[in-house]
Amino acid sequence: MSSAARGYTRTKPYPPRKVRIVEEAARLLQEYSYVFIFDLHKLKAGILHEYRYRLRPYGVVKIIKPTLFRIAFARVFGEIPPDIAKRVRGEVGFLFTNANPVEIARVIAENSVRRAARPGDTAPYDIAVPAGPTSASPGPIISKFSKLKIPIRVQEGKIWVAKDTIIVKAGQQITPEVAEVLRVVGIKPVFEQLRLLGMILRGRRFVEISVLAVDASEYRKLLESAVTAARNLALSIVYPAREVLYVVLPAAHARAVALAARLAVIARETLPLLVSRAAAETAALAAALAQRAPELGIQVAQATQAERGAGGGEARKPEVPERAGGEKKEGPGGEEVAGALASLF
């Protein structure tokens, strides 16, 4: 049997350092429900240290070799699913947390770290060198200022920029000269953040980061729309909730009063409506009689709009006709008025 066909059996003990790393990774996997995986390729140590500090309230950031992580994972969960094993390889780091995964993704996205520009970077916005002193002394760097057409002067042994000058437009590539000048003047125009690849959910499956990138404003709109639809439905079916009753009861009361007034039900709420309607119908009846039977001597005074406004809205009293001989004609008696009111209802 060839040596290639024989299986490998380790005879030497594992290095104590690796054993400690596996034990710590196994402990973290048992302690935390979510494990974010992020890309370490070309990630500066300063950016990583800054995120260690910012994410300290949410969990633990660890750099563990993928091989050792897989060993720890198999020790805790028995086996590693293929979709997780496919992601745990190459230059990756891990964030162990029990916080809401959506909240973690939002915090990382909103806490980008500034860094110095490097040749080959893309300018995120128009980058300008502000007027004023720099920390650079006169020397070869002056040629780079001249190449970028930045007006300068030497004052007090330092290079001063004469006026604000845009040296690279948004979307353009940063050249070595631009990167050197930005470093000299102390401008860090590039924002960098952890490049999250996804999340391991309780050791069972891998969740892509795109699933966790939730737009809170869109969900707010959906929630507001759902609340409006639920309120309209509750109002339609008169669901007995506090928010619905505040709207339904006043409307029901107004409809009940209107119906009672139409049916001439005498109550405290309907009496003003009934009296107003009776007065209006009485005035209309008197006007009709005065027009069709002038021999009755009924005169109805009709105030103009201007007169009603000047009189505070009060209607003028109808004039009582005089009898022959100067005597005023008496009005109808009490029984007649009562009978007329009764006939209206």
Same domain as 204, residue 84: yes
Identify whether 320 is part of a domain: no
- CB atoms inside a 10 Å sphere around CB 100: 13
72 and 136 inside one domain: no
CA 309, CA 334: separation in Å to the nearest integer? 32
Same domain flag for 33 and 59: yes
Residues 45 and 101 in one domain: yes
Q: Which pLDDT does position 213 carry in this prediction?
A: 77
Q: What is the spatial distance between Cα 125 and Cα 251, in angstroms, rounded to a whole number?
A: 57
Compute the distance between CA of residue 48 and CA of residue 44 in angstroms, rounded to an integer.
7
In a domain, 228, yes or no: yes
Q: Clarify whether residues 25 and 82 are in a common domain.
A: yes
Give me the residues of the chain with pLDDT under 50, please: 1, 3, 303-345
In a domain, 272, yes or no: no
pLDDT attached to residue 72: 94
Amino acid at 69: F
User: Residues 3-16: pLDDT tens digits?
Assistant: 455 666 667 777 88
294, part of any domain: no
Whether residues 98 and 229 share a domain: the answer is no
User: In this structure, are 99 and 56 located in the same domain?
Assistant: yes
The pLDDT value given to residue 5: 54
pLDDT score of 7: 61
Burial class (CB in 10 A: 0-12, 13-18, 19+), 88: buried
167/237 same-domain check? no
279 is a domain residue: no
Closest CA to 148 of 191, 121, 184: 184
Domain that holds residue 171: 127-191
- Domain membership of residue 107 (yes or no) is yes
Same domain, yes or no: 68 and 104: yes
Q: What CATH number does residue 167 fall under?
A: 3.90.105.20
Structure tokens at 126: 């128009």
What CATH number should be reported for the domain holding residue 56?
Answer: 3.30.70.1730
Domain co-membership, 85 together with 187 = no
Do both 205 and 106 map to the same domain? yes
pLDDT tens digit string along 141-170?
888 888 888 898 888 888 889 899 999 999
Does one domain contain both 45 and 55?
A: yes
Residue 338 lies in a domain: no
> Going by C-beta distance under 8 Å and a sequence separation of 6 or more, which residues neighbour residue 40?
48, 63, 91, 92, 93
Would residue 334 count as lying in a domain? no
Amino acid at 328: K
**How many domains does the chain contain in total?**
3
pLDDT for the residue 158:
87
